[in-house]
Amino acid sequence: MDYAEAKPDEEWIYGQYFVHFTFRQAGLKAGKEWLDSIISDRPIAILDRSWGSMMVNSKALALARITADTPDPGNGYIERDSITGEPTGILVDGAYALIHGAMPPTPMHALLRAYREGMQYQSSRGVVATKYVHVCEHRLNALSTLDKAGEMTLRVEAAISWQDDIFPVKRRWELIAGERHYYRSARFNANAVKFHFDGVHETQSSYLSTPWPGESTWRGSLNMTPEHICDMVVDLDRKGIRVIAHCTGDGSSDLFLDAVAEARRLNGPNGMRHQCAHSTLLMEENLVRFNALDVTAEFSPVLWYPSDFSYARTKAGEERIKNIYNFKGVIDAGGNAVMGTDWPVANINPWVGFETMITRKNPWGEREETFYGSTISIEQALRVMTINGAWSMGIDDKAGSIEVGKSADLIVLDRNLFDLEPQGNMHNTQVDVTLIEGQLVWDRLEQFKACGLTAVWHKDEVPEFYDKM
């Protein structure tokens, strides 16, 4: 309400976050009726904390022309009243792209500012390579603008959206067919495609290998048929395009690995390193397949440690979640495991994820309950953050380790991680210096200023609010 009053000229009120669980705790039903009671004359769209759904008011539904007769998209669904069929104001997974389609596009100046701030922050935290997923031509143009201006201070692999999961992508097929090469540079490429195979645990749309607890048949939402998944993985693999597949259920990751196996059978071992994104739950028998198929298992730290998200972990059942985010299982089986932040769903500071890989505890000591899953050693965590990440991007021949002949991508820390008690002492690691290809991009203490070397980014430019997300 305060925001709406402060921005009377804004056509849409668009923001984040709400949490389904807290609504249930308060005895409230999230949806259009609750939002209409606050503001009804302007469209409102609010994402949930997991980005798995969106809550909108009646005005937003009307502008998007979503009614009881609107069919569900193939990669999501419209929550409806069980009697009337009318939309409740909750749109799950790909269904909320219908809302984004009715909204004005993000202005270029806003995209440039967001990407610039993101690169400033990541460089200040020692990130030298990253993946930006769910891009469209509009976002690729913004990233390319920063690249040409010399402000791309990390290596970026951008992944084009296959589905209209987050927002509509109008030139998807042109980009996949070849226009993606237009953006290629030494630090930037768009040679990947991002898919949402299933949903998220909060809405019970993650696709499981057996029914969800308490359900007789509901296994979650598979956004594409197994045949569709297999065909597109084989086709993209043949074209030399990396597939990054959102898989939070053990059933969806199983289908993804099956599709990669078929691609290897038909196309041969062509070196394409596809990626299972999030890998929240994995079947025990699939752990060895990551190594056998050269597939990266990427884990996102939303639930590695006790936090406000902890309530969602029990939805899939106690037996399943004993090995949630199974870094250790993949590593022990010889596979390549990496860490993704899943920003903005989780904290973008990589040192939070680094500490909790090793401890599986809340780094701020806010919660003491034991969490599920197995810890890994500091040596393993360092490989996850360095050479494993480079391997997943196909740049391990020139980055990911300090060796003669490789790029000078280096960081200097304010502490020796091996001398610390991990709990509470690694998440707040400060990066004093970040170099990429020998270029000084971050110098926290301005130690090189006297030598005439000035870093690209400066301390007073880095937005601190990222640390609080």
Q: What is the mean pLDDT of residues 338-358?
A: 88
Q: Give domain status of residue 404, yes or no.
A: no
Boundary (domain end) residue, out of 67, 102, 137: 102
Q: Give domain status of residue 85, yes or no.
A: yes
Closest C-alpha among 282, 461, 288, 457 to residue 373:
282
The predicted structure's pLDDT at residue 165:
67
Query: Which span out of 5-14, 155-164, 435-444 was modeled with the highest average pLDDT?
Result: 435-444
Kindly state whether residues 159 and 222 are assigned to the same domain. Answer: yes
pLDDT of 469 above 60: no
The predicted structure's pLDDT at residue 362:
86
Q: Give domain status of residue 117, yes or no.
A: yes
Residue type at 259 in one-letter notation: A
Which distant-in-sequence residues (6+ apart) come within 8 Å of 374 by Cβ? 323, 326, 327, 328, 329, 360
pLDDT of 2 above 80: no
Torsions phi, psi of 129, nearest 5?
-155, 145
- For residue 341, give the CATH number of its domain: 3.20.20.140
Q: Give domain status of residue 397, yes or no.
A: no
Spatial distance between the Cα atoms of 202 and 53, rounded to a whole number of angstroms: 9
What are the tens digits of pLDDT across the range 45-78? 998 877 778 999 999 999 999 999 999 887 788 9
Kindly state whether residues 158 and 292 are assigned to the same domain. Answer: yes
Boundary (domain end) residue, out of 102, 119, 144: 102
The predicted structure's pLDDT at residue 87:
94
Kindly state whether residues 60 and 124 are assigned to the same domain. Answer: no
DSSP β-bridge partners for residue 91:
54, 78
* CA distances, 245 to each of 54, 196, 223 (Å): 21, 6, 11
Kindly state whether residues 116 and 64 are assigned to the same domain. Answer: no
The predicted structure's pLDDT at residue 306:
73
92 token code pair: 């799950």
Q: Give domain status of residue 403, yes or no.
A: no
Kindly state whether residues 325 and 375 are assigned to the same domain. Answer: yes
Task: Give the rounded percent of residues in the chain with a pLDDT score beyond 70.
Answer: 94
The predicted structure's pLDDT at residue 414:
96
Buried b (16+ CB within 10 A) or exposed e, 78-113: bbeeeeeeebbbbbbbbbbbbbbebbeebeeeebbe
368 token code pair: 């003491």
Kindly state whether residues 74 and 160 are assigned to the same domain. Answer: no
Q: Give domain status of residue 436, yes or no.
A: yes
The predicted structure's pLDDT at residue 311:
56
Q: Give domain status of residue 402, yes or no.
A: no
Kindly state whether residues 163 and 299 are assigned to the same domain. Answer: yes
Kindly state whether residues 233 and 132 are assigned to the same domain. Answer: yes
What are the tens digits of pLDDT across the range 434-458? 999 999 999 999 999 888 899 999 8
Q: Give domain status of residue 398, yes or no.
A: no
Q: What is the mean pLDDT of residues 347-369?
A: 85
Boundary (domain end) residue, out of 78, 102, 126: 102
Kindly state whether residues 58 and 198 are assigned to the same domain. Answer: no
* Helices 137-148 and 108-124: angle between axes, nearest 10 degrees: 60
DSSP β-bridge partners for residue 48:
18
The predicted structure's pLDDT at residue 368:
65
What are the tens digits of pLDDT across the range 212-267? 999 999 999 898 899 999 999 999 999 999 999 999 999 999 999 999 999 999 99
Kindly state whether residues 257 and 212 are assigned to the same domain. Answer: yes
For the chain, the domain total comes to: 3
What are the tens digits of pLDDT across the range 97-150? 889 888 888 889 999 999 999 999 999 999 999 999 989 899 999 999 999 999
Kindly state whether residues 197 and 150 are assigned to the same domain. Answer: yes
Kindly state whether residues 315 and 418 are assigned to the same domain. Answer: no
What are the tens digits of pLDDT across the range 389-437? 999 999 999 999 999 999 999 999 999 999 999 999 999 999 999 999 9
pLDDT of 201 above 80: yes
Q: How many CB atoms lie within 10 A of CB 269?
A: 9
pLDDT of 195 above 70: yes
- For residue 10, give the CATH number of its domain: 3.10.310.70
Query: Which span out of 92-96, 312-316, 417-421 was modeled with the highest average pLDDT?
Result: 417-421
**Which range of residues forms the domain containing residue 176?**
108-392
